[in-house]
Structure 1
Amino acid sequence: MSDSNNSKMDDFELVPVPDSAKRSWWVISLIWLAIGIDISGLFLGAILSEGMAIHDALIATFVGSSILAVLAMLCANIGFQAGVSTPLVSTAVFGRNGGKILGLITGVSLVGWFAFQTDFFALILVEALGKSGFEVSHFTALVGGGLLMMVTAIYGVRALGKLSTWSVPLMVTLITVGLYMAAGMESMGEAEIVAPMSMGEAISFVMSIWILAAVAAPDIARYAKTRKDAILGAGFGFLLGNSATIVVALLLTHLTGTDNLVEVFFTLGLGMMAIIILVFAQWTTNSSNLVSGALGMAVALPRVPRPVWVVLMTVVGLAIAQFGMVDKFTAFLTLLGVTIAPSAGVYLAQYYFIDKNEFNFERIEQAPAWLVKGLVAWAFGSAISACTAGEFFNLFSLTSISAIDGILASFVAYFVLVKVGATQKKKEIAGVN
């Protein structure tokens, strides 16, 4: 492989991103928008429309997306400061081995999400092409989509930026045309509530798809030219990207009276246009899963090159999807989500309330093997998240969003542990003197 290709594939997984590779805030925003505008968001909107009135669903969407945007902005700011990926950022509070553990958990989790999203992509593509008279097997759609996503991920975040300049305008065009055409139809009235859900549950649903992406915002934000670029990019991308597709799905479902969005686009006469654009949308979204997952694995096991991790993750993910293991993997993915999100509470506490200088790359390089306070706080947050999650113990409720519960718990635990430790150290020094 030539040095030129090596340079293009370098995603700076173990070092800070150089100034020459950094991008403006609008490029960062396009990447987040492209990640947020995906098929699963469309179907989440349809699910919300079955559980509550449209005005309540819209409120839940904007509240959930706003919380995600704030969280992503806070994490992106840290990513800009450090200039490195999320697992390396976490080294400052968990130690070198702790950062590797987070990288490994993140990598395994995102293999599962890649499998889930690719399988979902193949199902939708087969249905959509079938309506246009093209018969394609699930396996062909699965492998074809997976290879597209893999090639982009091999070239990392910069390739996501280039792909996003195509996918976002195309998706915005589809949304605008779809809503315009649907608005000309006679409204079907308020949809029947067939699976009632509370506002807290709805907000949790809105956040559930992208909470891990918000926590991993440093992966993208490290490419920002300025701190403002990093923060604006994450906030703008999450607030609009996450909410846009859900809102569109809610409105289309309300206007057409059906939650089958493939059927909706074909009814509107946008069939082939929708197929092409949805391919682009899911291409970007699932490539980002491979990008972040490979960054995590490269930190955990740095002897294996990051592009090789991308290929390995793609093969494993496609095998999981093809052999019908996605459903069996879902509970495991939820468990990993409960584990990963609380890690953000620790580095948020360290950066904003204790000592932000720990996130300078020179300090990260000198981090010890283990940092016990951070690991204990992370474990505590994960335990609280599991206790409040409906999928696990469901023992009590705090914010009604288990991932946020875990982040807040680890945040408070780490802050208390550090402050108590500092007080004890002062007493010991005073006693010696």
Structure 2
Amino acid sequence: MTSFLRRPGVVIACGALILTLAMGVRHTGGLFLQPMTLDQGWSREMFSFSIALQNLLWGVFQPFAGAFADRYGAGKTLVGGALLYVLGLVIMANADTAFGLNMGAGLLIGMGLAGTTFSVVLGVVGRMAPPEKRSLALGIASAGGSFGQFAVLPVGQGLIASVGWQSALLWLAVGILFIIPLAFAVTGTNGAPAGGQSVGESLREATRTASFHFLFWSFFVCGFQTAFVMLHLPAFVVDSGMSANVGMTAVALIGLFNIAGSFLSGWLGGIYSKKWLLAGIYALRVVAILAILMLPLTTVTLYVFAAAMGLLWLGTVPLTNGLVGHIFGMKYVGMLYGLVFLGHQIGGFLGAWLGGWIFDAFGSYELAWWLAIGLSVAAALLCIPVREKPLARVAEAT
């Protein structure tokens, strides 16, 4: 049984399912914005801040979760992260103050996401796959997060409609518990081999390398855009006179099309330059956002926008993770990718929170959309100078 669980196909499948659950539940956050704020008498900024805090703390704890998985194994990290995630959902369901909301939706779910998502799962997949197939394997696993967005969102909307938002959160917590048995597939998958660089040496090397900073700040932009769209698109749709189901469908379509987008990015990253593919993704996001601003907002234009954003959504993940492993080696890839992912989540904090603040201040999301466009241009330019070659130390080791 143990040998079966260590097979590459099984590890990739279980990793994809873990991301399906963790990312799927996380993406339901926007569905709870209106019912929770209306029932509790909260402002959108207050709710947005808790989700922004979640994004920030997810990023802050991600390098530690990655380092723990590198040292002690992904299985232990996943189990601990799942338990924190469940506790956060339970507290969120019972929160009636800003403190309770920030503790549950912000701190605990943020910590839970750090232990159940990309740096932990993709670190396992990246080490398991041979270099020539690594980008494709990362793309397949990343697609699990996209499938969760597509599959779990209708479940979340259905639960809110049928049992109310409080019970919906508790049922989603039950779903997160399924991560624990899936973690057995990677329980024995420890990362960093003995010898070679220390953790401190790896950190110093990365922070002294310009490409690391280019990847950090371009990923910051990705976090800003995805957090803003995921949290505020459903409310943006309702504000425009459409139903909540139309907004939910748009977000679900992003997830559906990103299944193909993540797989395609992983596959193309094994053939073509990863940095140019990243630059292309950020440039195409400019076109998609301009379209949603300039064209009349109908269900057709909304769904086309969602499909286009879906193709470009998490395609940045296998490409960025692949570049980190390619440039710096695989020994501490969980920790180093976690650090780059911190940039993503700092952007996510600002995208989620500023979206709510801008709406409360100006009565619309237009300024936030234009900010997302400007940042996307900057991200495309930041990807171009990335030096897409292994460091001399890594090249000599191989």
Q: TM-score range by the shorter chain?
A: 0.3 to 0.5
Larger RCO (alpha carbons 8 Å, 6+ apart): 1
Which structure's CA Rg is the greater one? 1
Using the size of structure 1 for normalisation, the TM-score is 0.31
